């Protein structure tokens, strides 16, 4: 007989108690080995059809999806646990794969290197006498065709030297040494030596404790909401103005959003069922021995969720904040809680709309307000901020903020770097790119959606006497291969997601426009090893029919994978994507040619996209936003905000 339980929405993340149940159930099984690591314990989301039936949620059992890795046998397992019944639903061996590296492994790998006699000898010969000042960053090994990459769980750390315990070690790379670690045994199997390069004397410090001079002309900037925020929160369900959605979180993707709706004339209209970061890769463009294997699939190899920061008021977020904690496990099954992993608040965003009728002499102005849901993750040297913005006019924006410390190297003073730039004397940063794949599971007024590619073209035919005409040409993409496309500024290309079965006031199908932001293409050859594992970078836009097994653009296990998995494989079937339940995938890239101003900490760079209603509403949905209360101080008979 089931015990009474707290009824939660089936899409809420697992609670601490649920995670503990899943771990206990697995540890009680004969198949469990003490050599196993819990790579991830997360909610197994129920079928969409079940969630959408709006049945009594108590009838939906909660399940955990667990990835377990056995270091002794080098084996990966996927396990589904029924939380409510405390039983194992399935226990499946996934042969020949390496799952995400756990945070425990990152810590243990550093200690393995620092305790290695071979490494100690190597740094002594390098002139480093105190191993305690060496900083070791775990780096994924990737795949380059070797037998050890096929049969072992590996890491290829980068090493740096601190001058003391709080120094910025990244400013002093140990360029010539690269240890290779067997993560199953936590032993250094060799130290690759590529020759001596002097360690530069740059300190590169940035912390408040290490700096002595600061600007003195910054006055306090305070945000006050004396009546409280405009949003309401119940569990992980959020309502703000006319928006409603659910905040999710898991160890791999980090922040996820679910069941996004907009209240239009008292009708709750669906827009997105699920939105998340699917994968990312950071390929470096330097062929030097210590640099050429550097590429990181940060979501699939490290886990954006497990790398999440605990956010601080006044630093990461300003205003009246609602925080959400993140719960997962370490690799031994112990609970890890990241306090304040997700931040939600409101921001003023300037003018929403304005018009001044000169005949009346009275302006009508409305200020824009947006709701921000964000998280930050640190993957060794880099920081990534993930920001979802909801606007009063129906817009949804996603923005990734890139900051942190460049992955630096040293060069001899008389060498001019070709594949990067000096950022300080003798210290250089290689050229590199960042590519992100975002998965958008649309549910635009229902599941039967289609995608059009829209190109703006000059009129070259017909009546165009003054040669000024241009028009938007929409082309329906009926299959997966037809939908594969790239950003094209020459035609101001955008995409629209439509529901043919529902018409707006002017008789056209309701739609949302997908507007790309800054983007780029990969510079590495398609034959490069990393691109064989990251087929998602081949196109900016992909569209697939919904499949519950297709969540990760580079495949379920990109760590040390040979490639050929993921979205480029799925879409070879060229399935139908017309008037069906579709997933829209967007790849966005940032090319980073480093500069001295990116050192010692890089100012934030921004990339993202915008979802904009395109006939989804019958008129401006923000027309009913009231004016702001404003104390008029201008010498005019008309208030500046009516």
Q: At what angle do helices 117-125 and 103-114 cross, to 10 degrees?
A: 60
Sequence length of the chain is 642
DSSP state of 636: S
Contact residues for 593 (Cβ-Cβ < 8 A; gap 6+): 421, 431
Q: Facing residues of 308 across strands?
A: 377
Catalytic residue among 298, 443, 445, 556: 298
Residue 600: cis peptide before it, omega within 30 degrees of 0: yes
Q: Are 541 and 495 in contact (CB under 8 A)?
A: yes
CB 118, CB 187: distance < 8 Å = no
Tell me if residue 81 falls in helix, strand or coil: strand
Structure tokens at 156: 């290829």
Rounded CA-CA distance 80/92 in Å is: 9
As given in the structure block, the two tokens for residue 386 are 């993930």
**Is 551 known to be catalytic?**
no
Residue entry with tokens 């409510």: 84
Question: Could you identify the residue written with the tokens 């003798």?
Answer: 426
Q: Rounded to whole angstroms, how far apart are CA atoms 161 and 313?
A: 32
- The DSSP bridge pattern shows strands 362-379 and 396-404 to be unpaired
SS3 content of the chain, % helix, strand, coil (to 5): 15, 40, 45
Q: Is the dihedral of CA 188, 189, 194, 195 positive or negative?
A: positive
**For residues 83 and 55, what is the distance between their CA atoms, to the nearest angstrom?**
19
Catalytic residue list contains 382:
yes
Residue position matching structure tokens 């799952």: 99
340 phi, psi to nearest 5 deg: 55, 45
Distance of CA 18 to the CA centre of its chain: 25
- Token look-up 């949620």 returns 57
Residue ranges of E strands in 251-333: 254-264, 267-283, 295-296, 322-329
> Encoding tokens for residue 163?
């001058």
User: Which positions ≥6 away from 640 have C-beta within 8 Å?
Assistant: 363, 365, 630, 632, 634
Q: Which of 302, 382, 389, 586 is catalytic?
A: 382
Report the first-to-last Cα separation within the chain, whole angstroms. 62
Asked if 580 contacts 500 with a C-beta cutoff of 8 angstroms, the reply is: no
The rounded distance, in Å, linking the Cα atoms of 351 and 368 is 5
Residue 105 · residue 183 · CB < 8 Å: yes
Rounded to whole angstroms, what are the CA distances from 621 to 145, 243, 444, 505?
Answer: 55, 12, 16, 14
Q: Match 């009926």 to its residue by tokens.
A: 478
Query: How far out from the chain centre does Cα 31 lie?
Result: 34
Residues 6+ apart with CB under 8 A from 267: none
Rounded distance between C-alpha atoms, residue 251 and residue 21, angstroms: 17
- Enumerate the β-bridge partners of residue 177: 193
Q: Are 100 and 41 in contact (CB under 8 A)?
A: no
**Catalytic residue ranges:** 298, 382
């Amino acid at each position: 007989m089931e015990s009474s339980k707290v009824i939660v929405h089936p899409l809420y993340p697992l609670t601490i108690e649920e995670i503990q149940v899943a771990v206990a159930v697995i540890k009680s099984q004969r198949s469990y080995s003490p050599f196993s690591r819990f790579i991830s314990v997360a909610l197994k989301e129920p079928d969409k059809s079940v969630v959408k039936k709006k049945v009594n949620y108590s009838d939906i059992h909660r399940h955990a999806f667990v990835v377990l890795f056995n270091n002794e046998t080098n084996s990966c397992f996927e396990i589904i646990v029924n939380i409510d019944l405390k039983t194992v639903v399935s226990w499946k061996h996934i042969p020949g794969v390496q799952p995400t590296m756990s945070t425990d492994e990152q810590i243990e790998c550093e200690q393995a290197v620092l305790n290695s006699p071979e490494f100690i000898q190597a740094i002594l010969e390098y002139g480093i006498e105190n191993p305690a000042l060496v900083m070791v960053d775990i780096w994924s090994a990737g795949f380059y065709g070797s037998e050890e990459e096929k049969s072992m769980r590996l890491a290829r750390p980068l090493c740096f030297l601190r001058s003391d315990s709080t120094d910025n070690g990244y400013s002093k790379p140990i360029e010539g040494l690269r240890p290779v670690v067997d993560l199953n045994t936590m032993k250094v199997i060799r130290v690759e030596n590529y020759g001596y390069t002097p360690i530069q004397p740059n300190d590169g410090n940035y912390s408040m404790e290490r700096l002595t001079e600061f600007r003195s002309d910054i006055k306090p900037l305070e945000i006050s909401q004396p009546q409280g925020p405009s949003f309401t929160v119940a569990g992980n369900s959020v309502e703000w103005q006319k928006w409603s959605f659910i905040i999710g979180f898991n160890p791999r993707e980090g922040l996820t959003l679910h069941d996004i709706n907009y209240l239009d004339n008292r009708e709750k209209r669906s827009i997105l069922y699920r939105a998340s970061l699917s994968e990312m890769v950071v390929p470096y463009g330097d062929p030097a021995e210590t640099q050429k294997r550097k590429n990181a699939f940060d979501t699939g190899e490290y886990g954006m969720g497990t790398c999440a920061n605990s956010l601080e008021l006044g630093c990461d977020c300003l205003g009246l904040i609602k925080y959400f904690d993140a719960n997962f496990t370490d690799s031994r099954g112990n609970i890890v809680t990241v306090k304040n992993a997700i931040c939600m608040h409101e921001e003023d965003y300037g003018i929403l709309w304005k018009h001044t009728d000169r005949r009346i002499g009275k302006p009508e102005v409305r200020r824009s307000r947006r709701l921000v849901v964000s998280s930050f993750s640190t993957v060794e040297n880099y920081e990534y901020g993930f920001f979802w913005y909801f606007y009063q006019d129906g817009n949804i924006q996603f923005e990734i903020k890139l900051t942190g410390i460049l992955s630096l190297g040293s060069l001899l003073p008389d060498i001019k770097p070709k594949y990067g730039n000096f950022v300080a004397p003798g210290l250089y940063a290689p050229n590199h790119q960042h590519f992100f794949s975002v998965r958008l599971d649309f549910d635009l007024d229902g599941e039967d959606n289609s995608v059009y590619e829209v190109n703006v073209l000059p009129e070259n035919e017909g009546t165009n006497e003054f040669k000024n005409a241009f028009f938007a040409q929409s082309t329906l993409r009926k299959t997966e291969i037809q939908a594969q496309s790239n950003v094209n500024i020459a035609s101001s290309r955008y995409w629209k997601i439509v529901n043919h079965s529902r018409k707006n006031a002017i008789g056209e199908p309701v739609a949302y426009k997908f507007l790309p932001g800054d983007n780029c293409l990969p510079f590495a050859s398609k034959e490069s090893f990393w691109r064989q594992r990251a087929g998602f970078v081949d196109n900016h836009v992909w569209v697939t029919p919904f499949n519950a097994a297709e969540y990760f653009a580079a495949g379920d296990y990109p760590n040390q994978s040979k490639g050929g998995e993921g979205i480029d494989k799925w879409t070879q079937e060229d399935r139908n994507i017309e008037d069906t339940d579709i997933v829209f995938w967007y790849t966005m890239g940032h090319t980073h040619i480093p500069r001295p101003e990116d050192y010692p900490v890089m100012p934030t760079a921004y990339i993202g996209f915008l979802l904009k209603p395109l006939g989804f509403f019958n008129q401006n949905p923000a027309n009913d936003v009231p004016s702001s209360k404003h104390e008029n101080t201008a010498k005019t008979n008309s208030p500046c905000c009516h």
